[in-house]
Amino acid sequence: MTDHRQVPPDHAPAVPRRALAILVTALVANAVGHSYALMVLPPLGRQMGFGDIRTGWLIGLAALLLTVSGPVWGSVCDRWGRRLALMTGLAAAAAFAAVFAGVLAGRGTGALSAGLAFTLLLSARLAQALLTGGLMPGAQAFLADATTERRRASGMGLMGASFGAGTILGGALSWGFGASGAGTALLLIAGVQGLAFLLLFLLPVSRGMPRLPGGGIAPLSPRQIWPFLLTTFLGLGAYGQMQQVMALRLQDGFDLPLQDAVQRSGAVMMATMIAMVITQGAVVRRLDWPPLRMIRVGAIGAGLCLAGVAVAPALPVLMVGMVGVGAMLGLLIPGNLAGLSLRAGGGAQARAAGLNAIGQGVGLAVGPVVGATMHQLSPQAPFLLAAVLMLTIAGLAFRPRLFGI
């Protein structure tokens, strides 16, 4: 594959639209399965007799393994190409959905004990996490290879929009099939992911980045890209807080009954995600802004919207504020990924994405804990803290020498 260090900034290897469509299909299929599993595992864990604690371990251990496997897969992608990681990850995702459906059926008929069912599902989940750690680094590197420096943010926005669309579809499946139809939904997901896996055979083959004279690949140090990793950690930490406490905010801040708080919280977060998807998929392409401008505007806008959400006097005002947060994150996230890609250089795209996965995983793990703790102070406190985190990102982005782009 062409080394971007030898390619003029406004010229990238031509990639057929069909290849981009295949990549988007694969990312959406993976995100559908990922979001659906996270939504249904807690209630289905109870139904299968695992209990809340063991189900929590099942989710948490897999998330930890997915995070730490990202850098390893990033190195594999830069050495051996993108398609291997993408195909391995999607095959593992499809296999897990099928195993999940089988365990659910076996537990329902009594063929599997609760202990054996948990062991099988945990083993499958950990194997999936280990093998899918290269999906996002591989996709990010593929899009970096396929876009010019000027259009890099647009490519990263496409990746984010694909994941967001899959998350929304996963929620729709959860709502449409319910608990009684979970097995059917899982087999449907496995089938879609299997089809997407077959389509990946049509992707152009990359053979990894050219070796340096000594036989190695381009070096990459975390010190080189730390502002982007910190931006990821702070931004997703803020988002993780919102996910954790939104229903509590509606219940305690607006005196809604539990059922209404849960339902309306889902609607608020869905509207936030839709705004994020639209911004990443359409608006970013039209704006054609450089990465630092996207980071600055996105972080300042998200900070102001979060401050408005914190003091919102009524639910409609809160809804409008959260839609604004989604739109601003739709600028911030692809801007940060584009900047990370440019700073890493052509020979280290997937490894940079793998390191960024650590920031993502830690941010989404720490955010809910911090959000729940801040909520004990007041229902507004988590959103005010999230606003401060966003404005901290903006402050960093006004020091361009830190980012080096």
Q: How far apart are CA 32 and CA 35, in angstroms?
A: 5
Encode pLDDT of 52-91 as tens digits. Answer: 788 878 887 888 888 889 889 988 888 888 899 999 999 9
Task: Report pLDDT for 333.
Answer: 94
Q: Could you say which DSSP state residue 6 is in? A: G
Encode pLDDT of 198-231 as tens digits. Answer: 999 998 765 555 444 444 556 777 888 999 999 9
Q: Can you list the alpha helix ranges (DSSP code H) found in 200-257?
A: 222-253
Task: Report pLDDT for 8.
Answer: 38
State the Rg of the chain over Cα: 21
Task: Report pLDDT for 180.
Answer: 82
Beta carbons of 138 and 82 less than 8 angstroms apart:
yes
Domain residue extents for the chain: 16-202, 222-403
Task: Report pLDDT for 247.
Answer: 80
Task: Report pLDDT for 216.
Answer: 54
Q: Assign domain 222-403 to a CATH class.
A: mainly alpha
Ranges in the chain, pLDDT < 70: 1-15, 205-218, 262
Task: Report pLDDT for 11.
Answer: 46
Q: How far apart are CA 88 and CA 163, in angstroms?
A: 18
Task: Report pLDDT for 5.
Answer: 37
Burial 144-163 (b: 16+ CB within 10 A, else e): bbbbebebbbbbbbbbbbbb
Looking at CATH, the fold of the domain delimited by 16-202 is given as Growth Hormone; Chain: A; (1.20.1250)
Is-same-fold flag (16-202; 222-403)?
Answer: yes
Virtual torsion, Cα 391, 397, 403, 405, nearest 10 deg: 150
User: How distant is the alpha carbon of residue 32 from its chain centre?
Assistant: 12
The CA angle 109-110-113, to the nearest 5 degrees, is: 140
Beta carbons of 154 and 20 less than 8 angstroms apart:
no
Q: How far apart are CA 218 and CA 215, in angstroms?
A: 10
